[in-house]
Amino acid sequence: MNGPPNGTVRAPRPTGLRRFTTPRPPREERCEMCGARLAGEHHPHLVDVDKRALVCACGPCSQLMDRSAGSQGRFRAVPGRFLSDPGHRIDDRTWETLRIPVSVAFFFHNSALDRPVALYPSPAGATESELEESAWRSVLDATQLAAHLEADVEALLLRRHEGRTECFLVPIDICYELVGRMRLLWQGFDGGAEARADLDALFTRVRDLASEPQGSRP
């Protein structure tokens, strides 16, 4: 996914994905559809499926433009659910097949490309890992969350930490928030203490919000 293009005369207010990756002074954020003021950091987002971009939106515009709610447009609202799968079977062997060079990655199905996409945070931003079909299938087969995943707007978020892998289904904007924060805070080869502490805090928030899906296996 890409953020909106940069301005050519005056640096514009960060919008979409760029609000997670650009240092900015405190100021009001506005809906990119109607210009209404947005309250707080956690306002709704839409995915522009055609442009593969996140769009900040107010509640009414999010409902109006969401094609999953019945419209025929190109936008889909990012849902707010967080799910966990403590009984997943993503083991060391599965992780190694992914060939991810860091301890965090997220996966989603991109409907415009009609294929799964695997990304991980880096000092340069979101970096795509070329997945073989067998590697992607090994993840899908190892977690019940794959059956709940909505294309474009939700992702499987994995973290290899302290000898085990955590597996969550999260809104896609959380993943790009993670990428942006790592890009801003990353220092040295391994990210540095500040980036690791920020990553710990984000995953603590995800754990607190996540629940197991209904009908989950014992």
Annotated domain spans of the chain: 26-77, 83-209
Identify the residue whose tokens are 């900015």.
Answer: 24
Provide the pLDDT for residue 215: 62
Look at the pTM and tell me if it is higher than 0.75: yes
132 vs 4, higher pLDDT? 132
| pLDDT tens-place string over residues 106-127 | 999 988 888 889 999 988 888 8
Q: Model confidence over 143-190: pLDDT tens digits?
A: 999 999 999 999 999 999 888 899 999 999 999 999 999 988 888 777
Q: What is the pLDDT of residue 216?
A: 54
